Chain A
Amino acid sequence: DIQMTQSPASLSASLGETVTIECLASEDIYSNLAWYQQKPGKSPQLLIYYANSLNDGVPSRFSGSGSGTQYSLKINSLQSEDVSIYFCQQNYDSPYTFGAGTKLELK
């Protein structure tokens, strides 16, 4: 199985700041990497697919990058509504594994 190691586990940042979340795959996943945002009590929502493609309706302050085994999610100009848990997921090979999540809070 492909392991997804996500860091950091938690993150505290101020409004307007830029934050970056990393995801490391245990093998090459050829950019088949998605990022999801999950707000408390809600189901996950797709932010980014194919490592850097922004899903419809997602604000442009979110961006994804990476290739091979290393990927990152960047949030520019942090807003209060961005407080959430963020998960990465590889959809290259079954089982389609998720990272453990990053809890983003406001400082």
Chain B
Amino acid sequence: NAGVMQNPRHLVRRRGQEARLRCSPMKGHSHVYWYRQLPEEGLKFMVYLQKENIIDESGMPKERFSAEFPKEGPSILRIQQVVRGDSAAYFCASSPGVRRTSEAFFGQGTRLTVV
């Protein structure tokens, strides 16, 4: 049973380009969380999704950022018109959906560098 798969592992974008980060949850997991981590800082919650639904996006910047988790395929975090401040590690986590008692399984992250 493969773990949470994120790709690409490293992504370099020029300012103004779009970045697409993909996350395939563990088999059987229907809940996906996206976090951002800056150097020397903790994991900051961005968005919580279930299949075809955004449950909570209170941590997402209001502009340029969007996320989806379609019925088929991976969850996508999309950043439009990237700026240098978007450079960070982006982690995806999944859980089975029995909330309040389940640990989150994390992917290895995508390290976005904006040049």
Co-assembled chains A and B: no
